[in-house]
């Protein structure tokens, strides 16, 4: 089965436990998120199922519906800045490197404008995270650095417009490079 055979849709309540296990493993291994292990149910629920959070998963189409990965979208700010989303992605360790993460990120770019967002922002991307390459390839621009954010290491802030937002709003660095 390839990533393209998977169903990408809002996470069903009965699949919460599968996502808990995936995210719990990510937290345990301190991959990409600052949460301290062990992951508690309350922390999981507030990040992935809190008010205003939309959670989308990639799952197998069979009746067992194995969840292989997921992302959340939610307002990054209140009120007049709530048009900017925050997103987070996870893929189960056993399913990585097969395009599931890329598919989820691409889906979030398509889905965010349907939810009323015109940009997606990441607040805390570890400088060591290999996902940076994916984000940059798919149009995110590094717009800031938080010194010593996690365990003494810096973290990066990324932003990209989505939907009808004007890509040139990000400045000349996002213009296509011409020879
Ligand atoms: C980041 C993550 C969601 C990527 O999922 P994935 O299914 O492995 O990603 P894909 O197979 O679609 O790979 C897409 C791209 O991501 C990049 N990438 C992701 N993980 C990588 C790794 N360990 N090493 C090298 N490149 C990697 C590559 O650019 C890759 O592109 P390529 O296929 O052209 O080489 C997954 O590794 C994960 O859950 N990590 C832990 C949680 C995390 O860090 N989330 C992001 C928080 S900012």
pLDDT digits (tens, 9 = 90+) for 111-158: 999 999 999 999 999 999 999 999 999 999 999 999 999 999 999 999
Chain segment 1-30, per-residue pLDDT in tens: 799 899 999 999 999 999 999 999 999 999
Residue to probe by mutation, ligand 1, list 47, 58, 101, 126, most atoms within 8 Å of CB: 101
Chain segment 68-78, per-residue pLDDT in tens: 999 999 999 99
Q: Is the CB of 100 under 6 A from ligand 1?
A: yes
- Domain borders along the chain are 3-121
Chain segment 33-58, per-residue pLDDT in tens: 999 999 999 999 999 999 999 999 99
Smallest Cα–Cα separation from 136: which of 112, 160, 155? Answer: 160
Q: Collapse the DSSP code of 81 into the 3-class scheme (helix H, G, I; strand E, B; otherwise coil) and give the result.
A: helix
Integer angstrom CA distances of residue 33 from 76, 126, 151: 16, 8, 12
Q: Atom 22 of ligand 1 has which residue's CA nearest to it?
A: 130
Q: Is the CB of 90 under 6 A from ligand 1?
A: yes
Chain segment 78-96, per-residue pLDDT in tens: 999 999 999 999 999 999 9
Q: Collapse the DSSP code of 53 into the 3-class scheme (helix H, G, I; strand E, B; otherwise coil) and give the result.
A: coil
pTM: 0.92
Q: Atom 28 of ligand 1 has which residue's CA nearest to it?
A: 134
Q: Which atom of ligand 1 is nearest to the CA of 124?
A: 48
Cα separation, 53 vs 47, whole angstroms: 8
Kindly report the CATH class assigned to 3-121.
alpha beta
Q: Is the CB of 161 under 6 A from ligand 1?
A: no
Contacts of 6 (CB under 8 A, 6+ apart): 58, 59, 60, 61, 68, 100, 103
pLDDT at 145 (0 to 100): 98
Chain segment 168-178, per-residue pLDDT in tens: 454 444 443 33
Q: Is the CB of 29 under 6 A from ligand 1?
A: no
Q: Atom 44 of ligand 1 has which residue's CA nearest to it?
A: 32
Q: Are 116 and 75 in contact (CB under 8 A)?
A: no
């Amino acid at each position: 089965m390839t990533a393209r055979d998977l169903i990408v849709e809002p996470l069903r309540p009965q699949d919460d436990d599968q996502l808990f296990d995936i995210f719990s493993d990510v937290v345990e291994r301190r991959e990409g998120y600052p949460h301290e292990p062990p992951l508690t149910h309350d922390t999981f629920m507030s990040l992935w199922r809190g008010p205003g959070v939309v959670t989308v998963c990639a799952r197998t189409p069979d009746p067992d519906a194995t969840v292989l990965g997921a992302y959340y979208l939610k307002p990054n700010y209140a009120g007049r800045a709530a048009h900017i989303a925050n997103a987070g992605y996870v893929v189960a360790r056993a399913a990585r490197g097969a395009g599931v993460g890329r598919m989820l990120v691409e889906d979030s770019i398509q889905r965010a404008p349907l939810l009323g967002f015109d940009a997606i922002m990441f607040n805390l991307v570890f400088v060591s995270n290999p996902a940076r390459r994916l984000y940059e390839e798919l149009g995110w621009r590094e717009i800031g650095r938080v010194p010593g954010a996690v365990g003494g290491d810096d973290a990066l802030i990324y932003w990209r417009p989505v939907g009808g937002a004007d890509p040139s709003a990000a400045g000349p660095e996002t213009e296509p490079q011409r020879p």
